C-alpha cells in the first residue's frame, strides 16, 4: 500500500517487546514516530535505537510516542535490547514491534521488493494525533538516521499547524519564520503577527516565531 502525506495511516495489532500493541489505542491522542530498521544485532541500528532511547524525553515534550519495528521476533528484540543498553549506555524505554510475518511492514510498504525483500528498509513515519501521515523518510541500510532532524520536523509541523507560518531552510525552534503567502490583508497581518514582520519581497515575509 502506498501511503502519502495526509493519508490516514492504517491501524494494526502486532506483538512487541512490551506486549501486544494496537496502534490506534496505544497512540491515543499522541503523535507517533514509527521507524523500522533492517535487522536486530546490526551495528548502525544499535546506535540508532540507543539514541532514540536517550531522546525519549524530547519526543515526550512534543507529545510524541516512539515505536520501532523490524521483522525479527520478540525473543530476538529482547536479547538485542540488552546489547543496546550495554553498548549505548542507555535503557531502551519504548517498544520494538516484532513483525516476522511482515504484517506491518507490508501495510506500510517498508520492504523494498527489488532489494533484499526479507528486510525492512530504514523508514520513518511521523503520524499526528489525528492518525494522519505527516512525514515519510526512507534511508539506505548503510546510513544511520539523524533523529535531531526528525524532532526538528516535528517542531515545524506542530508550529505550522497552529500558526499561518512556514519554516525556512535549516530552521530550528526559535528562529524566524516565513508568513504564508495567502495572508495579504494588512489588518490580518497585524493581528496575526503582533511582533511585526519584514517584507523582503512581496512573497517573502519574515516574522519572529509566533509562539516564542
Ligand atoms: C546496520 O544497521 O548496521 C546495517 C543493517 C543492514 C545492512 C548494513 C548495516
- We report the CATH number of the domain holding residue 181 as 3.30.1020.10
- Active-site residue identified among 23, 27, 45, 68: 45
Nearest atom in ligand 1 to the alpha carbon of residue 119 is 6
* C-alpha span between 135 and 168 (Å, rounded): 17
**CATH code for position 59:** 3.40.30.10
Do 169 and 116 share a structural domain? no
* 2 falls within a domain: no
Q: What is the pLDDT along the chain (212 residues), one digit of tens a residue?
A: 689 999 999 999 999 999 999 999 999 999 999 999 999 999 999 999 999 999 999 999 999 999 999 999 999 999 999 999 999 999 999 999 999 999 999 999 998 877 788 888 899 999 999 999 999 999 988 899 999 999 999 999 999 999 999 999 999 999 999 999 999 999 999 999 999 999 999 999 999 999 99
Q: Please report where in the chains the cell 493519508 appears, as a residue.
A: 7
* 17 falls within a domain: yes
Does residue 177 have an active-site annotation? Answer: no
* 169 falls within a domain: yes
Do 110 and 15 share a structural domain? yes
CB-based pocket (< 6 A), ligand 1: 38-39, 42-45, 141-142
Do 43 and 120 share a structural domain? yes
Interface predicted TM-score (ipTM) of this complex, two decimals: 0.88
Nearest to 151 by CA among 63, 58, 67: 58
* C-alpha span between 172 and 146 (Å, rounded): 14
Nearest atom in ligand 1 to the alpha carbon of residue 45 is 2
Bridge partners, 16 (sequence order):
97
Count up the domains in the chain and report the number.
2
Q: Which residue range forms the structural domain that includes residue 110?
A: 7-145
Bridge partners, 98 (sequence order):
70
Amino acid at each position: 500500500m502506498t501511503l502519502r502525506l495526509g493519508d490516514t495511516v492504517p491501524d494494526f495489532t502486532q506483538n512487541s517487546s512490551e506486549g501486544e500493541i494496537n496502534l490506534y489505542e496505544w497512540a491515543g491522542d499522541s503523535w507517533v514516530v514509527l521507524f523500522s530498521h533492517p535487522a536486530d544485532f546490526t551495528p548502525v541500528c544499535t546506535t540508532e535505537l540507543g539514541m532514540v532511547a536517550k531522546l525519549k524525553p524530547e519526543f515526550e515534550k512534543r507529545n510524541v510516542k516512539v515505536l520501532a519495528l523490524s521483522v525479527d521476533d520478540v525473543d530476538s528484540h529482547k536479547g538485542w535490547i540488552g546489547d543496546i543498553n550495554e553498548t549505548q549506555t542507555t535503557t531502551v524505554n519504548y517498544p520494538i514491534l516484532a513483525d516476522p510475518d511482515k504484517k506491518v511492514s507490508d501495510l506500510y510498504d517498508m520492504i523494498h521488493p527489488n532489494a533484499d525483500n526479507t528486510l525492512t528498509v530504514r523508514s520513518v513515519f511521523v503520524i499526528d494525533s489525528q492518525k494522519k501521515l505527516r512525514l515519510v523518510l526512507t534511508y539506505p541500510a548503510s546510513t544511520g538516521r539523524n533523529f535531531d532532524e526528525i524532532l526538528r520536523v516535528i517542531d515545524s509541523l506542530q508550529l505550522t499547524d497552529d500558526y499561518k507560518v512556514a519554516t525556512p531552510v535549516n530552521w530550528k525552534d526559535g528562529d524566524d519564520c516565513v508568513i504564508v503567502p495567502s495572508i495579504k490583508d494588512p489588518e490580518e497581518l497585524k493581528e496575526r503577527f503582533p511582533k511585526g514582520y519584514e517584507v523582503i519581497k512581496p512573497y517573502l515575509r519574515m516574522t519572529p516565531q509566533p509562539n516564542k
